[in-house]
Amino acid sequence: MSVMAFSPKKIKKAKLWLISALLLVVLAAVAYTFLYLKHAATMTDVGNRLASPSWEHPMGTDHLGRDVMTRLLLGFRLTVGYSMIALLAAVIIGVPFGLLAGLRGGWVDRLFMRIADGFLAFPDTVIAIVLSGLLGPGIGNLLFAIVLVKWVNYARMVRSTVLTEVQKDYITIARINGLSAFTIMRKHLMPHIIGNVLVLASLDFGKIILLISSLSYIGLGAQPPTPEWGAMLNESRPYFQANPEMMIYPGLAIVVVVLVANILGDYLRDKFDVKKEVQP
């Protein structure tokens, strides 16, 4: 069978299977941490430090004798959870501002968009580093910085969607027929917006995980002994040469989760792409 035998349809199907399988693994891992944990994430056992894999410790122990697998699984929950929180906050703040700016127009619009332009003028990472540097290291401050950076994207996108849709006759007709502004927003505008927000959010999800992990790695985010992946990478740096697996596990975990998030984002984007429907 040649490579050409993989039709776009087959690839798409394979992609869907891959997402579902990986998502299932992620969910199972998260569920597992809630149900049963053999070791506490912060329980040190210095006598048994840097141990090789065994039945007791399937991924070995770290430099303080903590079980790596337990920390990795809890890191799942933390990293995914933190990104979810950041993402949700960004959406919750960004969408209403975008709606307001798009619907009200005038000085409200101009003010918000200039603020947004200000944020967009710098790369996300730079602003996040500066903010969490100013506020002091810590996961709370890091999340705050990420939300502050990310809400702008949602506000802008919602605003542009609103602006293009509001001009169309169906909105005028809804107004003519006596519907209130709120009803028009909820029933005639929201479905347009939700699709776009969902796609953008799933594409952002991977980026936020990376941002949290990388800033934790350089010591601005989660602090030890929190089992956050970036922090775990940071902690295992001195042992890189003798015990490389300590870095490989959290590193791989980040790669897999970001990959899943990106594939999911791509899939949703294809799914909601209106332009594609028009093409034969």
Contact set with another protein (CB under 8 A) = 105-106, 168-170, 172-180, 183, 187-188, 191
CB of 169 to another protein, least distance (A): 4
CB of 168 to another protein, least distance (A): 4
The continuous run of DSSP H or E covering 174 comes out as helix 169-176
99 neighbors 182 (Cβ within 8 angstroms): no
195, with CB counted inside 10 A (0-12, 13-18, 19+), is middle
Residue 147, both tokens: 């939300």
Q: Give whichever of 8 and 191 is closer to another protein, judged by the CB atom.
A: 191
Q: Give whichever of 158 and 210 is closer to another protein, judged by the CB atom.
A: 158
- Cα–Cα distance between 80 and 254 in angstroms, integer? 10
CB of 191 to another protein, least distance (A): 5
Q: Give whichever of 52 and 183 is closer to another protein, judged by the CB atom.
A: 183
CB of 107 to another protein, least distance (A): 11
Q: Give whichever of 17 and 170 is closer to another protein, judged by the CB atom.
A: 170
- Closest C-alpha to 160, from 216, 95, 207, 106: 95
Coil, strand or helix at 67: strand
Q: Give whichever of 109 and 245 is closer to another protein, judged by the CB atom.
A: 109
Q: Give whichever of 65 and 105 is closer to another protein, judged by the CB atom.
A: 105
33 neighbors 77 (Cβ within 8 angstroms): yes
Q: In DSSP terms, which residues pair with 67 in a beta bridge?
A: 61
CB of 264 to another protein, least distance (A): 23
Residue 1, both tokens: 């069978």
Coil, strand or helix at 61: strand
CB of 179 to another protein, least distance (A): 6
Residue 19, both tokens: 């997402």
